[in-house]
Every structure is written in structure tokens, then in C-alpha cells.
Amino acid sequence: MRLSFAIASDHRGVQLKRVISEFLKSKGYRVEDLGTGSEESVDYPDYALKAAEAVVQGKTDYAVVICHSGIGVSVSANKVKGIRAALCHSVGQAEYAKKHANANVLALPSGFVEPEVAKEIVSTWIKTDFEGGRHERRIGKITDYEKRNQSL
């Protein structure tokens, strides 16, 4: 089965989004580009939320969201119930994002990582397996909290 990815960015992340989208396609993955397509100013939550929703709705397996700092898109994506978005500046962070947190959304900071490093981050995140065990218990606590506090 071929993995699928939603990918989205604001105007400051559009160039890196194109690089990562082409990188994913070159590896044989299905990519759904959810915008933006230009460098005209837009609001990052509009795009990060679409990508996160694609994951929880089962339209894609994972999502990559990008803005200048990565902070805005990661905060936005994490507002969607069931999302574990991780902002990664390094390959090591990407490994632990999947290994320990089973992150289903990767947030990238276009202003702080070069495209080649971003590709390495994405590649590591994809190929790393979730360890389970004590980490499964911890993720379960997050899921339980989401269930108990739906109205918050």
C-alpha cells in the first residue's frame, strides 16, 4: 500500500512545500496539495487545519505543514482532535517525533531549515517506526484527555 500525504503551507512556506511535495512524489507517495499556491499573504491556520483534517478524516495517512517558523502551523494542526503534530528542525527530532510520539503531522520551519535538510527530516520521519510500549501508554493519556474534554 502506497502512503499518502496532505501537504500545506502559508505564503512563507510555499517554496519549501513545492520541494517537499516533489520529493515525496519522487519516492512514489501520493501527495494532496492543499495550498497555498502563491507567495501572496494568507493565514496559516486555514491551510494547517485542512491538512490535519485530511489525516483524521482518513483522506491521507499523514500531513506535512509548513510556515516560516513552523510554530503557527504546528499549533493550528494540534487543535484538531487526534492530531499529534511535531515541529522538527532536525533529523533527530523527526526520529523521536515518530518513535516516541507517533506524530501523524510533521511541521517544518521554512525559515530555519534548508531544503536538503528538510528532505532528510521528512525521510527520517517516514521511515521511523513507532516504538509503542511506554510511549503507547503516554499517547493513550492524550487520547483519553481529548475524549474527556471534547467541549473545551
Closest CA to 33 of 58, 11, 69, 63: 63
Determine whether 100 is an active site residue.
Answer: yes
Distances (CA, A) of 7 to 12, 20, 65, 94, 150: 14, 8, 6, 17, 26
Distance between CA atoms of 32 and 98, rounded to whole angstroms? 21
In the block, which residue shows the cell 503507547?
A: 136
Q: Dihedral of CA 7/110/25/84: which sign?
A: negative
Considering the candidates 11, 88, 100, 135, report the single residue annotated as catalytic.
Answer: 100
Considering the candidates 11, 67, 68, 88, report the single residue annotated as catalytic.
Answer: 67
Determine whether 88 is an active site residue.
Answer: no
Distance between CA atoms of 69 and 51, rounded to whole angstroms? 17
Active site residues: 67, 100
